[in-house]
């Protein structure tokens, strides 16, 4: 597949953003390619299109599969594995948020709870315990809110975000 300039720019930018989010650049570029292609691609085609090593593509695809951002599909008459991603941006957003919650937020909540449940918390400065409690409360409220928002249908969520933006602007004007 030959990339046109706009697709190439998108894929390169997605790779840069991925590296800023802690995701390997090639992993993010492969995801962007599959998203834009909107069709299954085999690993060899991905490697040729992006100009990366086949082994790098294989490892990157495994990582995308572990995050449920890529899945294997089979095409009639072709024995090779092909890979695709959802082209539904809301589905992708939900998968990414859920994956990050599992890898980053849940372990943090667990550590904060363990810290507060440890009898040695009484030996800490009063401010330390208070800040850990506040951090835990904040993360729990934010997590509950995001879970509620992600349960909404995309159309409803878009309306809710629009209402939230209007409320925010109105509150800022009064400040």
Domain count, the chain: 2
- Residues 24-43: tens digit of each pLDDT: 999 999 999 999 999 999 99
CA-based nearest residue to 33, from 91, 87, 107: 87
CB proximity list for 168: less than 8 A, separation 6 or greater: none
Average pLDDT of the chain is 92
**CATH number of the domain that 42 lies in?**
1.10.10.10
**What was the pLDDT predicted at 70?**
96
């998108």: which residue's tokens?
10
CB proximity list for 82: less than 8 A, separation 6 or greater: 40, 41, 42, 72, 73, 74, 75
- Domain containing 143 equals 89-174
Of 50, 84, 118, at which residue does a domain stop? Answer: 84
Of 84, 117, 147, at which residue does a domain stop? Answer: 84
CB proximity list for 75: less than 8 A, separation 6 or greater: 40, 82
**What was the pLDDT predicted at 175?**
64
Of 84, 111, 133, at which residue does a domain stop? Answer: 84
Q: Rounded CA gap, 21 and 28, in Å?
A: 10
Say what the pTM is. Answer: 0.78
**What was the pLDDT predicted at 154?**
85
């706009």: which residue's tokens?
6
Residues 117 and 65 in one domain: no
CA-based nearest residue to 44, from 36, 33, 53, 31: 53
Residues 51 and 110 in one domain: no
- Residues 91-146: tens digit of each pLDDT: 998 888 888 899 899 999 999 999 999 999 999 998 999 999 999 999 999 999 98
């Amino acid at each position: 597949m030959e990339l046109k300039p706009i697709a190439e720019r998108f894929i390169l930018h997605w790779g840069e953003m991925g590296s800023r989010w802690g995701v390997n650049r090639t992993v993010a570029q492969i995801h962007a390619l599959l998203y834009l292609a909107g069709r299954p691609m085999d690993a060899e085609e991905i490697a040729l299109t992006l100009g990366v090593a086949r082994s790098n593509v294989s490892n990157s695809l495994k990582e995308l599969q572990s995050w449920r951002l890529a899945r294997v599909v089979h095409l009639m008459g072709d024995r090779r594995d092909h890979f695709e991603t959802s082209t539904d941006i809301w589905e992708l957003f939900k998968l990414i948020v859920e994956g990050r919650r599992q890898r980053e937020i849940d372990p943090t909540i667990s550590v904060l709870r363990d810290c507060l449940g440890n009898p040695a918390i009484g030996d800490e400065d009063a401010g330390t315990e208070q800040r850990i409690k506040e951090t835990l409360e904040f993360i729990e409220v934010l997590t509950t809110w995001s879970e509620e928002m992600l349960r909404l249908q995309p159309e409803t969520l878009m309306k809710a975000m629009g209402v939230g933006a209007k409320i925010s602007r109105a509150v800022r004007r009064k400040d």
